[in-house]
Amino acid sequence: MKKSDLRVCANFLAIAYTVSPFNEKWENDNAYKYLSHKFEYCHKDSYVITDKNNILGFVLLNLGYWADGPQAMIEEIVIKPEYQHQGLGSLLMEYVDSKLKKTKVKSVILWTHQDSSAYKFHQKHGFSLSHDLVLMDKNNQ
C-alpha cells in the first residue's frame, strides 16, 4: 500500500461502515484522516489487492511485540463492497498469514463486531472469541 492509495481506500471504508451493525456516517475527510493516521505506523505492513491497477481491497497490519514475542494486529481489512464475497478477503488473509509466518509472529489480534459478516469471515480464517479481553468505551459528550 502506498500513501497515494489512501484516498481510494478511505472511500470504500466509509461505505463499508454505513451498513448494519455499524450504521456509521463518516463526514467529510474523516475516513481519509483515520486511514492516514493508521498508515503512519502500519505503512510497512499494509497491502492492497488490485485488478488492472484498480484497488479492490486493503489490509492495514500493525506489527509489534508482546511478552511472548512478535505480535500482529489487523487494524483494518476491507474489500470494496461490490467485490465482497468473491474470495478477495480470503486472498488478503492468506497473504498476511504467509508474511506473519515468515516473521515468526506468535499471535494475531483484531477487533470486529459479533453481529457483522466480518465476524464469521474471521472465524473461517481461524480467529476465535477472546474470553479474557474486553473492549470498553465511554461517550464523552
Mean pLDDT calculated for residue range 21-33? 87
Q: Give percent of the chain above pLDDT 70.
A: 99
Rounded to an integer, the average pLDDT of 74-85 is 93
Domain with residue 47: its CATH number is: 3.40.630.30
Q: Is the pLDDT of residue 17 over 70?
A: yes
Residues contacting residue 58 through CB under 8 Å, at least 6 positions apart:
1, 5, 9, 46, 47, 48, 49, 76, 77, 78, 92
Is residue 41 included in any domain, yes or no?
yes
Q: What is the pLDDT of residue 28?
A: 65
Between 20 and 125, the more confident residue is 125
pLDDT band, residue 83 (cuts 50/70/90): very high
* 129 lies in some domain: no
Burial of 52 (0-12, 13-18, 19+ CB in 10 A): exposed
Confidence of residue 68 (pLDDT cuts 50, 70, 90): confident
Higher per-residue pLDDT: 32 or 28: 32
Is 138 domain-assigned? no
Total of domains in the chain: 1
Find the domain containing 23 and state its range.
Answer: 3-124
What is the pLDDT averaged over residues 50-75? Answer: 92
- Assigned domain for 140 exists: no
Mean pLDDT (the chain) is: 91
Overall average pLDDT of the 104-131 stretch: 88
pLDDT of 64 higher than 80: yes
